[in-house]
Amino acid sequence: MAGGVTGGSAGTWSDRFEQGLHPFIEAFNASIRFDLTLLQEDLDGSIAHARMLASTGVISSDEADQLVQGLETVRREAAEGTFQPGLADEDVHFAVERRLIALLGPVGKKLHTGRSRNDQVGTDLRLWLRRRLDELDGDLQRLQRALFQQADQHRSTLIPGYTHLQRAQPLCLAHHLLAYMEMLERDRQRLRDVRGRVNICPLGAAALAGTPVPIDRRRTASDLGFETIYSNSLDAVSDRDFCVEFTAAASLVMAHLSRLSEEVIAWASEEFAFVRLTDRCATGSSLMPQKKNPDVPELVRGKTGRVFGHLQGLLTMIKGLPLAYNKDFQEDKEALFDAFRTTRDCTEAMAILFEEGLSFRPERLEQAVATDFSNATDVADYLVARGVPFREAYQLVGAVVRRCLDENCLLRDLSLEAWKELHPAFEADLHEALAPRAVVAARRSEGGTAFERVDEQLALWAQRLQGS
């Protein structure tokens, strides 16, 4: 086997090892096929480390310049497609170091002074995730903007509101969409919280106990944009809480996207027919030419379980690990990378769906809210406003609904005389109060669905989205 970074005959490792790995174990052990994702972050961290070593006198300024130039050469080679490490490199860290030694000779061997792969990979992961958190925040904001545009267009459109998937009370459609904007805002807040705990630098903790090399941990942390450093070297190399936290936050994003997807799937069905799918975000059937399938929300709903699974996998991975670093941590990357990709792809897909993939059908929605008993509560509220105890009003209206069901009619179909027979408090303005638009407009409590309250919320959201 070719000599490793130390020049030994056992590949990557020191001269303690006389033989190379079994070919299958070499492949089983290697992470290069997926952790090459961290290449840019590994180069950034190594450049900061080299400059710090020079600033503390561990290496000369000329050696640091050579190392930085060599690392930038690797970056260019990667961009050109000529840097293609294989299994023998084991991981991205050794792949970079090996190439650096090939480029610079003995100077390249000085880069790893004062650090370990343990703190190196922790730094790379945090740099990678910090960038991706910012990207995901932008995607969530894009989806919020798409929902806002739909809400703004439908501030006077009605939609049936449901509890237990049963018709409950009519709503303003904009109010319904704004509820998802609130969920996404909490998601963005959670991700910002995660970012704060991601933005702590482990570099300089070395393998687990720190290093006798006179390094300046705060210098590298500052150069890499970290807010602070880990204060305990054991914790620094063994902390994967941030991976779990991100995947938990991503799981909630996916749960919210899945809930919204479920609604779109139902709305697009013939039974609901609340939305039309455009050709931009739907496919057809290979057999039935009349069909248009809601592929985007169905895929989002299906992919949600994938992210949930990664969360469970990460929790299981860390639950029994003693301090400090363990090879188990190699399993964090594929889960973290895929959880991010899946969440970001699904967020972008849903943004496109609401930007150009569907249109609401106000006439169908108007018809839906006019043909049910979702105004029954308003009859009770009508009586309460006239001094009737709520529970008495509630029982009376329940009996009226039963009567209407028996007679195959709606509340609006009962004459004023019939209402007065039920209770003398009913007056001529009852039918007007039971109209769906009046029902919605009456719910003026703060946070309610009344049109004036929705207009207030839309104005606030316009300011938020402009400023964020």
pLDDT, position 287: 64
Peptide bond between residue 370 and the one before it cis (omega within 30 degrees of 0): no
Cα separation values, 464 from 72, 182, 291, 459, Å = 40, 12, 39, 9
Q: Token pair of 72, please?
A: 């930038």
Q: For residues 331 and 313, is the Cβ–Cβ distance under 8 A?
A: yes
Given the residues 164, 231, 286, 445, the one annotated as active site: 164
pLDDT of residue 348: 98
Specify whether 116 is catalytic.
no
Residue 197 has pLDDT above 80, yes or no: yes
Percent of the chain with pLDDT strictly greater than 70: 95
Please give the domain boundaries of the chain with CATH numbers for all domains: 23-113 (1.10.275.10), 118-368 (1.20.200.10), 370-467 (1.10.40.30)
pLDDT at residue 337 tops 90: yes
User: According to the model, what pLDDT value does residue 405 have?
Assistant: 94
Look at residue 286 in the predicted model and tell me its pLDDT. 67
Question: Per-residue DSSP letters for 325-348?
Answer: --GGGGGHHHHHHHHHHHHHHHHH
**What does the pLDDT read at residue 291?**
73
What's the pLDDT tens digit per position in 144-156?
Answer: 999 999 999 999 9
Return phi, psi of residue 200, to 5°.
-125, 130
Q: Rounded to two decimals, what is the model's pTM?
A: 0.92
> For residues 180 and 182, what is the distance between their CA atoms, to the nearest angstrom?
5
| CA angle at 300 for the pair 308 and 196, rounded to the nearest 5° | 50
Label residue 158 exposed, middle or buried (CB < 10 Å: 0-12, 13-18, 19+). buried
- Using DSSP, state whether 226 is helix, strand or coil: coil
DSSP 205: -
Pairing of strands 275-277, 228-229: unpaired
Query: Is the pLDDT reported for residue 10 higher than 50?
Result: no
Q: How far apart are CA 456 and CA 280, in angstroms?
A: 33
What are the tens digits of pLDDT across the range 396-418?
999 999 999 999 999 999 999 99
The average pLDDT across 298-307 equals 98
CA angle 280, 282, 284 (to 5 degrees): 125
Give the active site residue among 14, 61, 285, 359: 285
